Amino acid sequence: MLEPSETLQAPPQKLVMTGMAKLSRAILTVLLAGRHAAVGGRNSRERAANLVRIAAAYSRVELEAEKGIGPARATAVERWLAGQGVSLRVERDCAVSTMARAEVIMAGGAERVEKLEPR
């Protein structure tokens, strides 16, 4: 039988939410502070609870344009979202998408992509 003190203990401070467990810390950091983080809420607790919503707000081009996210990490986010039954945002304008993709590859800068991407 458990002692009374054992039942009242707080959960460990570094408890990872189950939904986030399959994403690396680097990806989590980018998503929780990235360009679409505000979609999830005002503070980090709300954002962590709405991580799927934040990640789904990105298009593939926008995600890869975030500092610290490349093609491999973007694929990891896509797979994680698929496991949640959601996908990345589909870009509406194929011509802009193609230009933005080329800009990311050639210039490697998010500044130029933001100017080309409609919001």
Rounded Cα distance, 88 and 55, in Å: 7
Residue type at 89 in one-letter notation: R
**What is the length of the chain?**
119
**Residue of 119 and 89 predicted with greater confidence:** 89
How far, CA to CA in Å, does 59 sit from each of 6, 8, 45, 82, 108? Answer: 46, 44, 24, 14, 16
Query: Looking at the predicted structure, is the pLDDT value of residue 105 above 60?
Result: no
pLDDT at 49: 94
**Which residue carries 């800009």 as its tokens?**
103
pLDDT at 60: 95
pLDDT at 103: 52
pLDDT at 93: 56
Q: Residues with Cβ < 8 Å from 23, sequence gap 6 or more?
A: 31, 51, 76, 77, 80
pLDDT at 37: 95
Per-residue pLDDT of 72-86, as tens digits, reads: 999 999 999 999 999
